[in-house]
Each structure stands twice: as C-alpha cells, then as structure tokens.
Amino acid sequence: MTNVYQDREQTEAKHFILRKYLQTLAFKTLHGGWSTLAYIDGFSGPWQSKTPDHSDSSFMIAIEVLKDAQSKVRAAGKKPRVKCLFVEENAGSFAQLHPAVSAHHDPANDFFVETFHGKFENALPQIQRTMSNAFALTFIDPTGWTGYEFDKVRPVFEHARGEVLLNFMFDFVNRFTASSDPKTLASFAGILGPDWQQRLDPLLPREEALMALFTEQFWKAGKFSYVLSTPIEKISDRTHFHIVYGTRSPKGLEAYRQVEYDALKDHGMRRAAAREMIREKKTGQTDLFGAEGAASVAEGSMEAQIASIKHQAKDWLRQQLPTCPQPFSDIWPMMLDKFMLRKTDARDICAELGKSREIKETWRMNGSRRQKPDDNDQIERP
C-alpha cells in the first residue's frame, strides 16, 4: 500500500489512469508527427494532497509525465512543444496551485505553463488559445457535478484534434438525483440533459441508467467516435466514480483499454489488500497469506471477469460477422467500444473462432505461421 494513498485507493486508481494514459498519449502524439501537445486540467485543486510537493495531485503528475516525455522525444532529434493550462476556482487551492506549477514554466525549452483563477466554464477563451494548433487532452476532475455543463464547455469537447478524460462523481450524483428538492434536481440538466428524470430508463439498474444518460450527453457534446466508462470502486465495493473517456481515434481506444485493464487490475489488488489489513486490525487475527494472498485472489477474480466478457464478445462477433469479408482493423474497434477488452483479447477471440472453424484462419494462409490476426487480415466465415 502506498502510504500517501492510504484510505484513498480510488484516488490512486484515478491517478494511475491519468499517468499511464498521458504517458502513452504524449509519446504517440509527439513521436507521431504532432509538434505540439496541449494539456488542459480543469478543477485542478489541490484536493486532499498529502505531500509537500503535491506529487499526489493531478497537476504535478501531469507536469512530471509531460516533461519526461518531452525530454525523451527531444533526445530522438525532434523539437516537441508542450502547453499546459491549469484551471481552479477555489481561492485557497489556487494559492497553492499557481506557484507549484508556475515553477515549471520554461518557454526557452518550449514547455509552457499557464493558470486560470475562476470557473472552468469561464476559462474557454484561454483554453481555446492553449489548444490552438495542438493535439489536446482535457482532464476534468470536479468535486461534484456542476461547473462543466456540456452546452457551456462544448467547444472544448468539440476540439477535433483532442480527447477528454472526465471524472463523473457517480456516488454524489446517485445520492442527489434521489433528492426531492426541485433546484437540486434541475442542476443535473447540464450533464444529464433536459427532462432527464423522464428519460431515465426504469428497467435498468440505477447505475446503468444514470451512466447511459451521462454518456449519451457526453458523446453528443464532443461528437466522439468512442466513449468508454471505467467504474472505480471503494473498498466497500460500491462505485465511487466513473472515469469517462472520449476519443475519435481507434488508436486512442486501443491505448485506453490497455490502461484501463492495468488500472483495474492494480486497483482490485490494492482494495483486497486494504480490506485484509482492516480485517486484521479489527479482529487481531493474521491470515497466513495476509494482504498479499488477498491481492492474489483479487487478481484471479479479475481474470475470471475478463474471461466472462470475452465469452460475451465471442457471441457478439458470431452474430455480427458479415457475410462478406471484413478486415480485423474494422472488427476490433467495434468490439473494444462495446466490451471492456483489449486489442489482444480481440485477437484471441478471433484465433479461437478460427481454431473451431467458425471463421477462416486467413492469417495462416500462404505458409504464414502467425497464430492470431493482424489488422489487414480478413475476418470471414468459412
């Protein structure tokens, strides 16, 4: 257990996703032809930071990752430019944020850091200047459900060369959407859409119904090709929040699904270890395998969950498989969009269907020894 995140395992999972995805994105964009990467951090905080240098805050994690990526890309002979904008409304938090991030403003080395003291919704002109001529990742991490009404921040979402990571505070939303106060209920229209109560599907479990409304509005606001939602649970196994990701790129979809898998695996093991430590503290009884054993069991549980999802995805592919050939490059994005799986899982599924002769093993034609399909291989019935 990382001491700085003790009793904040869900925050650790959120920061894990931010760190790993931003690392992947930075290298892919700056190595892949983009000269400028912009990072927008709304609701920057710090909130509940437990380190003097704020290394456990989203803004310092981002700066660390981006400076490292820029340095490595520069070592490869390129001249990458990084622009960061950190937005915070709370005066006390901004007083900590501004000096911490401004110390890393380094125009001579094409690393630019700006701050905005005010509401995220009011920072649009500065955000758009920062995004100009750049690939952008926007990270929105509110403490509640207001301050980012989609109609007001739509230009940020619609930035064609960009992606969005948003922390949807499900636990709070779930609690307060059950309120009887008309003003409170009306405050959700900005993210759930007009007449959201009438549109809430009564046939779905409440979490699914709320997430369906939210992801629909999120998708519309950014006109994204893919919107994914990653539930992050507390130690008690109750969903605390969802990390919602919007992209227009199959490559982004592929990268995020891998980060999501790694994050949930790590988070599950940490939650299990934390529960075991709490149990030992309450009972005074130490298990032979302790926290390490509990984490191992959690890892096996996740693998079983993935196996179940792969089974569902296999049935889906059987139903969706067209009568005419379709390249694997078209199949796997549809599968990853629908199921919490990685590209490697999609390849496994096709390989298994090939072995059972439900589809042709086109990847093994012409003497090839490949066991799984690549993007250019056709997926078709025998």
pLDDT tens digits, one per residue of 318-331: 998 877 789 999 99
Q: What is the pLDDT of residue 3?
A: 74
d(CA 40, CA 59) in angstroms, rounded, equals 10
Give the least confident one: 76-85, 242-251, 260-269, 355-364.
260-269
Does position 224 have pLDDT exceeding 60, yes or no? yes
Q: What is the pLDDT of residue 278?
A: 38
Angle, to 10 degrees, between the axis of helix 343-355 and the axis of helix 250-283? 100
Backbone angles phi, psi at 161, to 5 degrees: -100, 60
Secondary structure of the chain in the HEC alphabet? Answer: CCHHHCCCHHHHHHHHHHHHHHHHHHHHHHHCCCCEEEEEEECCCCCCCCCCCCCCCHHHHHHHHHHHHHHHHHHCCCCCEEEEEEEECCHHHHHHHHHHHHCCCEHHHCEEEEEEECCHHHHHHHHHHHHCCCEEEEEECCCCCCCCCHHHHHHHHCCCCEEEEEEECHHHHHHHCCCCCHHHHHCCHHHHCCCHHHHCCCCCCHHHHHHHHHHHHHHHHHCCCEEEEEEEECCCCCEEEEEEEEECCHHHHHHHHHHHHHHHHHHHHHHHHHHHHHHHHHHCCCCCCHHHHHHHHHHHHHHHHHHHHHHHHHHHHHHHCCCCCEEHHHHHHHHHHHCCCCHHHHHHHHHHHHHCCCCCCHHHHHHCCCCCCCCCCEECCC
Does position 293 have pLDDT exceeding 50, yes or no? no
8 A C-beta contact, residue 246 and residue 222 = yes
Percentage of residues in the chain having pLDDT higher than 90: 79
Residue 267 in tokens:
């988070």
d(CA 226, CA 157) in angstroms, rounded, equals 13
Does position 159 have pLDDT exceeding 50, yes or no? yes
- List the chain domain ranges: 3-249, 273-379
Residue 197 in tokens:
């109560």
Residue 363: pLDDT band with limits 50, 70, 90:
very high
Span 19-29, pLDDT tens digits = 999 999 999 99
Q: What is the pLDDT of residue 33?
A: 80
Residue 286: pLDDT band with limits 50, 70, 90:
very low
Looking at 3.40.50.150, 2.30.130.40, 2.40.37.10, 3.30.565.10, the CATH number of the domain 3-249 comes to 3.40.50.150
Centroid of chain to Cα 122: 25
d(CA 109, CA 246) in angstroms, rounded, equals 30
The arithmetic mean of pLDDT across residues 72-78, rounded, is 93
The arithmetic mean of pLDDT across residues 358-372, rounded, is 94
Residue 229 in tokens:
């939602």
The arithmetic mean of pLDDT across residues 232-243, rounded, is 78
Give the least confident one: 38-42, 70-74, 186-190, 230-234.
230-234
Percentage of residues in the chain having pLDDT higher than 70: 90
d(CA 247, CA 252) in angstroms, rounded, equals 6
Does position 307 have pLDDT exceeding 90, yes or no? yes
Question: Cβ neighbours of residue 373 under 8 Å, at least 6 residues apart?
Answer: 328, 347, 350, 351, 354, 362, 363, 379
Does position 279 have pLDDT exceeding 90, yes or no? no
Span 163-186, pLDDT tens digits = 999 999 999 999 999 999 999 999
Q: What is the pLDDT of residue 313?
A: 97
Span 30-56, pLDDT tens digits = 988 899 999 999 999 998 888 999 999
Residue 291: pLDDT band with limits 50, 70, 90:
very low
Strands 326-327, 239-247: pairing is: unpaired
The arithmetic mean of pLDDT across residues 227-237, rounded, is 82
Q: What is the pLDDT of residue 288?
A: 41
Give the least confident one: 87-101, 260-274, 275-289.
275-289
Record the pTM.
0.91
